[in-house]
Chain A
Amino acid sequence: MRGGSGLLRNGAGPAGRGSAVVVAVLAGALVVAVVAGLALGPVRIAPGEVVRILTGGAEPGPLRTIVLDVRLPRVLLGAVIGAGLAVIGTVLQALVRNPLADPFLLGVSSGASAGAVLVIVLGIGGGVAMTVTVPAAAFAGAMASLALVYVLARGRSGAMTGARLVLAGVAVAYILSALTSLLLVTSADANHIQEVLYWTLGGLGSARWHMLALPAATLLIGTLVLVTLARPLDLLLAGEEGATVLGLDTGRFRAAVFVLTSLLTGAAVAYSGAIGFVGLMVPHAARMVVGAGHRRLLPVAALGGALFLVVADLAARTVAAPQDIPVGVLTALTGGPFFLWLLHRGRSAEGAVA
């Protein structure tokens, strides 16, 4: 990895040949990971059979049902959410010019948690209906916190700076977390805590076709839109004044991107809980490979995030099978040490976070 990243960066000409190689490798790896995600599980299916099922060449049967109706929505949701979180993290790190920013920095996940917990504790739509009411409430909570942070971050002057945004986001997150804790502590039913904990840790186990379309489409389109913002995001790296004199209306751009990323985070969190670390770590890993220029960085981050979460989810449901480990636990367990290793080795890591 050390020699590799150096070679890639130095070998990348103005046209970014190095990053084209990285994109191709990641895309190939993603395809392999998706097939593996469909093949492996309590029932093992040969990769050739998986490909036959996917291409419509297989007879209807239990294997076809497992691949198409059980595993495929879960794998696709993982890929889309992984790509989305990684791109959102990349964008937010530029937006607030802080390498520690992640999709949950600005209060969105706390809002989502508060919404979800409210529904769980009040038992709204108990039983099966909860698979709909919990995501809906989570999304509503995310949007409420978005609105609150937006108003606070704009202030009276109307200019949204990175510092204001972070402060408003963190303050709102604290308040909402406190409310969530209060709801849980005062709840009579101990099962709620288990349920809420599981939801907060994040997992893709609830993926079903009928509820996949909306978040998947939202995240896919939103991620593609964010990838087109490479130029203004680069300008933000030049600082508030630098971006302004290069023609960017920083206040308006920041506000618009904040709303877009929060909507996407809300969509992701509502279905899968707050899957941590993807949005913090993948952007840094991608930056170390292709540099900080967003035109190369964003596609690599998207593919890297998708790959990482598909693999992590595969591990989550096979490592301790039949137990389904929350994927958020795995991403933190594997991602944390990897991230520390990245930080530890070499100067480029220092430069990226200094």
Chain B
Amino acid sequence: MLHIEDLSYETGGRTLVDAVTLHAAPGETVGLVGPNGSGKTTLLRCVYGTLKPSAGQVRVDGTVLDGAKERARRIATVPQDGQSAFELTVREVVAMGRSPHKKFWEPDSAADRLLVDEALARVGVTDLAERPFPGLSGGERQRALVARALVQQPRLLVLDEPTNHLDIRYQLEILTLVRELGTTNLLALHDLNLAAYFCDRIHVLRTGAVVASGTPAEVLTPDLLAEVYGVRAEVAVHPATGAPTVTYLPGPRTPHATTAPASRPSAEQKTSAM
């Protein structure tokens, strides 16, 4: 469904994404994990089209998507700079998600408004619909923007740290929701335990390259965590969820820690949330 082939992104002589190949089957939820600066955001931007890869290609349903509008009909995302000086209401912001399916002069139809109502209800912000969007809390905004992605009716949902700034309850709700949509999902996640629980497969990025791929149980091992993150950790299968669970152990750093890419300049402008 999603085929990322040999994708590289270079800027200013630095390679931020290095020949990444990554596939996702229809309906699959694929996680990207890795330390800050490992290239997760850059890779996702190449997929949803705000960056143009230096090499390689991205195919969705077998086609290379051409142009912003065609891409937006297949791929939805929650971008990072949604702030505006002007006060649109939450409903107006969510309704923007219908735009890729519309001619620019076309108003929203009754069917579009129904989709918006459903999406607002699904992420639990119906009560906020007529409120000004800039007045929402970070978490409320995040959910409204997920609602916008829903009304886009995408085949592929690409989310960069969708749980940022959310209370734990909403972290679980958002990821549960994402899994229930039936879309193919590509998620960059900070929290390895959430990734282990919600993703079918995980790819680990370090300095722009995929260093491990597989099911959470295959990938999330103490050795890999030591090598990539430079931390000591234990991994156990949680009795209730059946997913691997990572417990970080404080204490002396492993010898591998010096290889951790902490000194690498961050390519990911982690602006504070949507």
Contact = CB atoms under 8 A, between A and B. Distances in A.
Contacts of A241: 50, 79-81
Interface string B75-90: 1110111111111110
B48 interface: yes
Contact of B68 (A229, A238, A247): A247
Contact of B100 (A99, A246, A353): A246
Interface string B125-141: 00000101011000000
Interface stretch (B16-24, B104-112, B255-263): B104-112
B186 to A, nearest CB: 14
B40 interface: no
Contacts of A295: 107
A354 B132 CA distance: 13
B85 A293 contact: no
A249 interface: yes
A352 to B, nearest CB: 7
Contacts of B106: 231
A295 B102 CA distance: 14
B68 A352 contact: no
Nearest to B86: A292
Interface in B45-82: 48-50, 67-73, 75-77, 79-82
B100 A291 contact: no
Interface stretch (B91-99, B196-204, B206-214, B235-243): B91-99
B3 interface: no
B68 A248 contact: yes
B113 interface: yes
* Range of interface residues on A (Cβ < 8 Å): 35 or more
Given A231-B102, A247-B68, A293 B81 contact: no
* Range of interface residues on B (Cβ < 8 Å): 35 or more
A242 interface: yes
A55 interface: no
Given A228-B105, A246-B100, A238 B79 contact: yes
Nearest to A232: B104
Contacts of A97: 84-85
B249 to A, nearest CB: 38
Nearest to B82: A242
A246 B91 contact: no
A221 to B, nearest CB: 15
Nearest to B72: A247
A248 to B, nearest CB: 6
Interface string A311-354: 00000000000000000000000000000000000001001111
Contacts of B152: 246
Contacts of A244: 49-50, 68, 79
A194 interface: no
A93 B86 CA distance: 9
B72 A10 contact: no
A311 to B, nearest CB: 26
A147 to B, nearest CB: 26
B85 A246 contact: no
A245 B99 contact: no
Interface in A236-254: 237-242, 244-250
Nearest to B69: A247
Contact of B67 (A229, A232, A249): A249
Nearest to B78: A245
A231 B105 contact: yes
7 contacts: A228-B105, A231-B99, A238-B82, A239-B83, A246-B97, A249-B69, A352-B85
Which 5 pairs between the two chains have the least Cβ-Cβ distance?
A247-B72, A247-B100, A292-B86, A247-B69, A239-B81
